[in-house]
Structure 1
Amino acid sequence: MKENAIKYFSIDYKANNNGFVSRPHFHKHYEIFYFEKGNASHFIDFEEYPITDNSFFLVSYNQIHYITAKPDTHNFGYAISLDREIFDLFENDLTNLFGKFSKSPAFYLERKELFTTLFEEIKTELEGKRQKSNELVFGFIKILLTHIWREERDTKKKKTQSGSVFANFLQLIEDNFIKIKSVQEYAKMLSITTKQLNRICKEISTQTALSAIHERINLEAKRKLFYSENQIKDICYDLGFEDASHFNNFFKKMNSKTPTEFRKEMSQIFN
């Protein structure tokens, strides 16, 4: 292995009163980021991923990425860069963790002590430049990636975690659907990205997050049209719509009939 084929960097982002935004950039090498402490966002190929404690990010060559942090936050950890010739020495199971379309580059693991130890060992070996340091470092990185690979495999096998997030999402909709209609807001409340939320919804229910929100609003609209004698414009405002035309368009899109037609149809059926 050639010298400098593997490089180590310390991460230490201290955001002042104005926050912190790194310059968007890309590399011709691969990078592994590990945040021991994090309270920020990592944008990778224009998708936002939360930086939290014990979070990993695997960035492939040519992927545009940058980091933003809110004011008065401190994010620190480690980063490693790998030349392509080193990267290609890993088996496919590990290289496939990087840079796949529609695949999240973010991983949230719990084994903090192990990962911190491995990065410290990598730092010591690279700075010491002892015999076969690169070989040892390669082995340490393989251990890191194998743990990430194993976590991903376990996640795919277990639906319980996704099911729990989905159940929490449905409860949040139940509690907030009149005031909150944005997928982004619900994802924020769940401390995940909109992409992750949609992936979980499709995995569990085959529908998007927005479809789930719309279904709950539509159910309440039909309930009010059926059970109450309120005017449609009043129902519209009760459900948080700004005007009746917007509500009418929404309802017709969901049900292939207007609120008036639905109410009339229900009246004919049940009276």
Structure 2
Amino acid sequence: MAKANIPTYDICSLVMGKPTQEDVVVARFPEYLAAHSDIHFPHRHSFYHLALFTSGSGTHTIDFERFPVKPGQLYFMVPGQVHGWYFEGKVDGYVINVSAGFFNVFLKDADYIERFPFLSGVAAEGVVELTATALREVTRIFEEMLQEVATNQPFNMDMLRLLMLELFIRVGRSTQQGAIRQDMLHNNLLLRNFRKLVEQHYMQLRLPKDYAAMLYVTPNYLNAFCQHMLGKSAGEVIRDRVLLEAKRLLVNADTNISAIAYQLNFADNSYFTKFFRKYAGVTPEEFRKNIV
């Protein structure tokens, strides 16, 4: 029997008893878990969600990929991603929830934070193993943010924005090997633009040549570029996004599989089932039954 739909939480429902905090929530992990013991798992958010583990074990699933929980890990999740955690014993660390528009009043470039690879929306890229030095720096930032929330001083929201940007930059530095060359900046920009286009058009456009035209490159170049940057072709990037959306839609027990096939622009249910079984390893029905 299919399970219930995955709920979506907005930031206002997880405010830790501080109703004035509509754009950002900062908390210690045990307190966050205690305050929201009724959160359903798995679930998704309409905001950015960060979790730093300083102790504990278990597993954390993001968009149906499972990762082992261990100290020194920092998880970044973007709005819409499905996730759930399954802990073994007690865990400690920190949690930040931040609205998608939190930085809009502060940054001239609305796409600035998308430059950080851990905010790409790709599950594996959102899991960062911090070095001992980076962990100390990040922990210090979390503690400063907690103090800022507790004291409620003038300009505290701006200070929280500054601390959050420092967090992103320090994590970005810790994961970036060597100096950033101009060609690396170009490659990162092209990759980010390709992924953004896929996110916007994957329902209708399934061929690399469609995206290559919008990026003003050849299909061969785009495929070679993706192979170099990601270890997969442009076609696989598009296919993986379609497959992820199929999995997200299959969570909804009230939507039949034929309707999902139609929504994803497949010619018929049979073609969708063949596609899903080929790349997910199970049929849509089997996947739906095994969702936990």
Q: TM-score, normalised by structure 2?
A: 0.46
Q: TM-score, normalised by structure 1?
A: 0.49
